[in-house]
Amino acid sequence: MIWMKMCSETLSNLQTTQHEIQGTIFPAPNFDPVMDAQMLDGALQGIDCNKDMLIDILTQRCNSQRLMIAEAYRNMYGRDLLTDLKETLSHHFKEVMVGLMYPPALYDAHVLWHAMKGVGTDENCLIDVLASRSNGEIFQMKEAYLMQYDSDLLQDIYSETSGHFRDTLMNLGQGSRQEGYADPAMAAQDAMVLWEACQQKSGEHKNMLQMILCNKSYQQLWMVFQEFQNISGQDIVDAILECYDGYFQELLVAIVQCVRDKASYFASRLYNAIHELDFHNKTVIRILIARSEIDLMNIRQQYKERYGKTLFHDIKHFSSGHYERALLAICAGDTEDY
């Protein structure tokens, strides 16, 4: 009965949290895609691009509205808005404006492609995206990746990564996590498997650990993590940090943190990108764009609570010019956030 009560409370808490999550970009009222297309055409013409106009329009329309603007732009001028932005703009400001023009699934595909192609692999990008997306988002991402790049996402992950890190990414990339399912009777058993995996550290135990973390529902994992604490006297994150290392460790921790609170996870990722990596632009841009219509307001709140300074403050301190203004516009803050 206690377990059933905990299960019910967990489901209730998750549903409440779901209702409270909030982005920072919403559909613009009195939206006119034709007028916006005309204004963007004017902003992109001439010697000096009107970057302020680009920011005012593209950061104040939701993604579906931006796609409607692109369609109107193509019908009116016979040109592709995305191409014109790429050819006219430069540096990090271009990355922001171009990124805003991708549908969410295609944007995920876009950042994953660039994370794996070229010199080196951006493992942190792979972790951020694959650890945090739902089954539906992963399915759409894989379809977009195939259509855009004529390449299979999982095959590329397999060729660009290795070891148990690769195995876990491949498992996440299947998009086969149970959804809306919780079995209190299995929680203690799953927790024991995780505990043994942390003790034994063998390949077989690592496989069992990642199978549970990648395939069990969030509701189930909430109970598993509590049982793990009861069995071991240790938080699951602390156990993972002690027992494993490298990107495999980072991926496992990311999965646990995303199960618990995605906004908190992304707040910590932004803080690390800004302070520990000397403002890692690609990470900051990727998170702000990808979460702008999902939970960026929650991320901002978590950032301020955890680190004492607002995300606005840190963006202004580490960036400048129109790039800074575009990032701040996506965050959609109030005066006191400055």
The residues, ordered by sequence, that sit 6+ positions from 78 with a Cβ below 8 Å of its Cβ are none
CB of 63 closer than 8 Å to CB of 103: yes
For residue 204, the SS3 value is: helix
- Could you tell me which of 115, 101, 84 has the C-alpha nearest to residue 289? 101
Task: List the structure tokens of 218.
Answer: 């969030």
Q: What is the DSSP string of 292-333?
A: TTTTHHHHHHHHHHHHSS-HHHHHHHH--HHHHHHHHHHHT-
pTM as predicted: 0.90
**Alpha-carbon gap, residue 104 to 269, rounded angstroms:** 19
CB atoms within 10 A of CB 265: 23
Question: Tell me, what's the pLDDT at 207?
Answer: 84
Query: If you average pLDDT over residues 145-152, what whole number do you get?
Result: 97
What is the DSSP secondary structure assignment for residue 180, as one 8-state letter?
S
Radius of gyration from C-alpha coordinates of the chain: 21
1, pLDDT greater than 80 = no
Task: List the structure tokens of 209.
Answer: 């650990």
30 dihedral zone (left: phi>0; alpha: psi -120 to 50; beta): left
pLDDT in tens, 16-54: 344 477 999 999 999 999 999 999 999 998 778 999 999
pLDDT in tens, 43-99: 998 778 999 999 999 999 999 999 999 999 999 999 999 999 999 999 999 999 999
pLDDT in tens, 193-219: 888 888 876 667 788 888 999 999 999
Mean pLDDT of the chain: 90
* 183 vs 130 pLDDT, higher one: 130
- Could you tell me which of 265, 324, 255, 326 has the C-alpha nearest to residue 294? 265
Burial class (CB in 10 A: 0-12, 13-18, 19+), 97: buried
User: Distance of CA 117 to CAs 44, 150, 247, 251, Å?
Assistant: 30, 14, 18, 20
11, pLDDT greater than 50 = no
235, pLDDT greater than 80 = yes
- Give the pLDDT band (50/70/90) at residue 251: very high
Query: If you average pLDDT over residues 218-222, what whole number do you get?
Result: 94
